[in-house]
Amino acid sequence: MINTWIVATIVAAVAGVVGFFVVIRGSAFAAHALPLGTFPGAAGASLLGLNPLFGLLVFSGLGVIGISQLGRRGRQEVATALTLVTLLGLGALFLSMSTEYSQATYALLFGEVLGVSSSDLTPVAAISAFSIVLTALLFRPLLLTSVSPELGEARGVPAARMELLFLTIVALATAMALPVVGTLLVFSLMVGPASAARALTDRPLGAMLLSAAISLAVVWLAIAFSFVSNWPIGFFVGSLSALAYGGGRVWRACSVRR
């Protein structure tokens, strides 16, 4: 349980920080597609006898390259969908070559935070620290290109380069979060708390910190409820994230009326 609380806290903090930019840039689809497209990398790494985290990072890189390169000459959502389909096809191939990966596949799809070992803490902490530092360094240009790409270009901030860096941050955050909350729910941990925070305050830095705080509360409550009820932690993560978003929308509506 100590490992569970530590790694869940790290994942929640990173998801809240990165999720702020996912929301204001309107990149929820990319935040959903990248983890779906990276979990086959763990299957491929398992076939080669490597650490699954290595496969997640490699496929995260492939996803970022595919979305950024295809998106330059077409619609961003189409590029994201094509990249996702390609990576999932490779995942189906890798999974068909192994009959011993079903339990690990379930864990990556739905999360297995209670199964985190002490050896997993160091790489998760390292990737998380790198993601947070990169986000902090790029905070102002990311915010500028998120609000107005044209203004960013006028001030010498290339939108295409910032999109590539942003996708890299999202890929690192999702690859690190997969073993905890799973592929199907990592995007809800990014989008739900960040959307709630965006509805509660208009200040960028305050919204980002509030997003991290809400994400922490969601994960901590999910672990506690899962421990008491013996229900999957992913169910509580998704439900509490949705409730946080709904609460934020209600608060915003009441504030507008007042």
* pLDDT value of position 107: 66
Number of domains comprising the chain? 1
In the chain, where do the E strands start and end? none
Confidence of residue 104 (pLDDT cuts 50, 70, 90): low
**Rounded CA gap, 17 and 34, in Å?**
17
> Is residue 30 packed enough to be buried (19+ CB in 10 Å), middle (13-18) or exposed (0-12)?
buried
Instruction: Compute how many other C-beta atoms are within 10 angstroms of the C-beta atom of residue 33.
Output: 27
Closest listed residue to residue 215, CA positions, set 19, 6, 1: 19
Residues of the chain with pLDDT > 70: what percent? Answer: 85
pLDDT digits (tens, 9 = 90+) for 161-197: 888 888 888 888 877 777 666 766 677 788 899 999 9
Read off the tokens for 65: 């390259």
- The residue range of the domain holding 252 is 2-257
CATH code of the domain in which 182 resides: 1.10.3470.10
Global pTM value: 0.82
* pLDDT value of position 194: 92
